[in-house]
Amino acid sequence: MNRPSDGVAPSAKVPALFTTTHWSVVLAAGQSESPQAAQALETLCRTYWYPLYAYVRREGYDATDAQDLTQEFFARLLAKNYLAQVERQKGKFRSFLLAALRHFLADQRDRARAVKRGGGADCLSLDAQTAEERYRLEPVDRMDAERIYERRWAMTLIERALTRLRDENVAAGKTELFERLRSFVAGESDVSCGEAATRLGLTESAVKSALHRLRQRYRELVREEIAHTVADPAEIDAELRYLIAVMSQ
CB 105 within 8 A of CB 66: no
Instruction: Return the amino acid letter for 221.
Output: L
Cα-based distances in Å from 28 to 22, 40, 45, 232: 10, 11, 17, 11
Residue 198 lies in a domain: yes
Closest CA to 214 of 189, 249, 241, 239: 189
Residue 37 lies in a domain: yes
Residue 221 lies in a domain: yes
CA distance 141 to 246: 16
DSSP assignment letter at 31: T
Which tops the pLDDT comparison, 50 or 77? Answer: 50
Instruction: Give the total number of structural domains in the chain.
Output: 1
Residue 4 lies in a domain: no
> What pLDDT is recorded for position 181?
94
pLDDT tens for 199-240 read 999 999 999 999 999 999 999 999 999 998 888 888 899 999
Q: Write a three-state SS string for 153-184.
A: HHHHHHHHHHHHHHHHHHHCCCHHHHHHHHHH
CA distance 19 to 238: 19
> What pLDDT is recorded for position 142?
61
pLDDT at 147 over 80: yes
CB 243 within 8 A of CB 154: yes
Which pTM does this prediction carry? 0.76
pLDDT tens for 72-103 read 888 887 776 566 665 554 568 888 889 889 98
Residue 23 lies in a domain: yes
Residue 40 lies in a domain: yes
| Residue 92: CB atoms within 10 Å | 19
Which residues, in sequence order, are CB contacts of 144 under 8 Å at separation 6+? 58
Residue 2 lies in a domain: no
Range of the domain at 207: 14-248
Count of H-run helices and E-run strands, the chain: 12, 0
